[in-house]
Amino acid sequence: MPKKVAANQLEHLQLVNAKPSEKETYLNDGAGLWVVIHADGAKRFQYQFSVLGKRGKMWLGYFPAISLAEARQLRDEHAAIVKQGQDPRIARKIEKITQAATAATTFEAVAREWHTKKLNSWSEDHGKKIMESLVADAFPILGNMPIADINSPLVLMTIKKIEARGAVETAQRILQRIGAVMRYAMQTGRTLTDPTYKLAETLTAPKVVHRPAMPRKELPEYYRRLAAEPLHPLTKNALELLAYTFVRPGELRGAKWEEFDFEEAEWRIPAERMKMRAPHIVPLSRQALAVLDALRPHSKRSAFVFPAQTDHEKPMSENTMGYALGRMGYKDIHCPHGFRSLASTVLNEEGFDADVIERQLAHAEKNKVRAAYHRAQYLKERRALMQWWADYLDSKKPGVNVVPLNLNKVA
């Protein structure tokens, strides 16, 4: 070791004015704190100690990024650890590991991890909006908290703060997203409970906005406009399949080829993509299969049936079909979700069994026994219903004069 220059309780100016030499120079501040002046002029604090008969040393940082007073404080903290018979280098490593583990389990860290894993199932715009909403309304209160420490009162305080500014619908969405993050944390072993459970009951109910749906008499004009409008073929096919299947728009946009069983003529939507978090079967009519057959040559380009035009690894934008309907003159008259209302209205008016219709709409069934029964039954009736519906839609297209035969009316 180079010769040490003895000194005691150094002054700030001494360190500022200290000049390097060809070899490292050591300035002693006392009680184990040294300043090492390197040949290149860098000045670094070092703590030297002895624990259990073994000598050790550790770097504390560079001067002047760390002041002399700060270095002494660090020395005193490490000296206290030495007094307990522990090596401060090991203690520092343990502290860093603990801090890293804590940082990885904060609400913000888990939320960002959840968001990254979900990105492929969202459009780019939707994924961006979700993260922006969490940054604005969830992270300021919950972000730095260990996720296991988050409880219902904290979540409620976060949501009520949003409600207080009159953003009732935003409060509902943030609660849903916090709940999704908490359930992901449960699945990955970082918390035991979901504190958002039943909190929705405490929030102000948002005003119900009825999504516009065209009346059945408008269908011939709708199909005339659809045929005439120069839409992108993928958008036009999406509108066709949405009408034939009357699933929720998000379920259609996120459809993947692996969900379709062409031999059984079924579209099997997994629970995680359904609003009610239960798997759903959509019997495919001949017309729906024809739309999918037209798209299948492009299936190798993307896992999605309707990929985004700019990035085939992501689904179609949530605004695409709505924008197309607006171009066709249906703004405030009919929206993508409106096909569900239209199908429900027509099928009920035509006398189809209400239970069969509700099951095909994948509406929630509060009675669990009845819900299980519905999942097991009605598939034959639903196949007939979906084929009748597709035939009915085709009968409204220009140049078609076929009247669909309904053999499934309730007497």
Does the annotation mark 92 as catalytic? no
Do 344 and 363 form a contact (C-beta atoms < 8 A)? no
Catalytic residue, from 75, 126, 340, 359: name it: 340
Q: How would you classify the pairing of strands 25-30 and 4-5?
A: parallel
- Give the residue among 139, 136, 88 at the shortest CA–CA distance from 111: 139
Q: What whole-number distance in Å separates Cα of residue 199 and Cα of residue 182?
A: 13
Does the annotation mark 248 as catalytic? yes
Q: What whole-number distance in Å separates Cα of residue 307 and Cα of residue 217?
A: 32
Helix axes 338-349, 354-361, angle to 10 degrees: 170
Catalytic residue, from 38, 92, 224, 373: name it: 373
> What Cα–Cα distance (Å) separates residue 33 from each residue in 47, 68, 310, 374, 377?
5, 10, 60, 76, 79
Catalytic residue, from 277, 363, 370, 380: name it: 363
Does the annotation mark 275 as catalytic? yes
Catalytic residue, from 248, 273, 334, 359: name it: 248
Q: Which residues contact 313 (CB under 8 A, 6 or more apart)?
A: 120, 302, 303, 307
Does the annotation mark 380 as catalytic? no
Does the annotation mark 340 as catalytic? yes
Provide DSSP, 140-192.
Answer: HHHTTSBGGG--HHHHHHHHHHHHTTT-HHHHHHHHHHHHHHHHHHHHTTS-S
Q: What whole-number distance in Å separates Cα of residue 137 and Cα of residue 107?
A: 13
Q: What whole-number distance in Å separates Cα of residue 296 and Cα of residue 237?
A: 12
Q: Is 355 buried (19+), middle (13-18) or exposed (0-12) by CB count in 10 A?
A: middle
Contacts 24+ apart (CB under 8 A), 32-37: 32/75, 32/79, 33/60, 33/71, 33/72, 33/75, 34/4, 35/10, 35/63
Catalytic residue, from 128, 275, 286, 409: name it: 275
Q: Which residues contact 277 (CB under 8 A, 6 or more apart)?
A: 271
Do 9 and 29 form a contact (C-beta atoms < 8 A)? yes
The H or E element containing residue 410 is none
> What are the tokens at 56?
């050790």
Catalytic residue, from 337, 359, 378, 382: name it: 337
Q: If you ran DSSP here, which 8-state letter would residue 307 be given? A: B
Report the SS3 class of residue 355: helix
Does the annotation mark 363 as catalytic? yes
Residues carrying an active site annotation: 248, 275, 337, 340, 363, 373
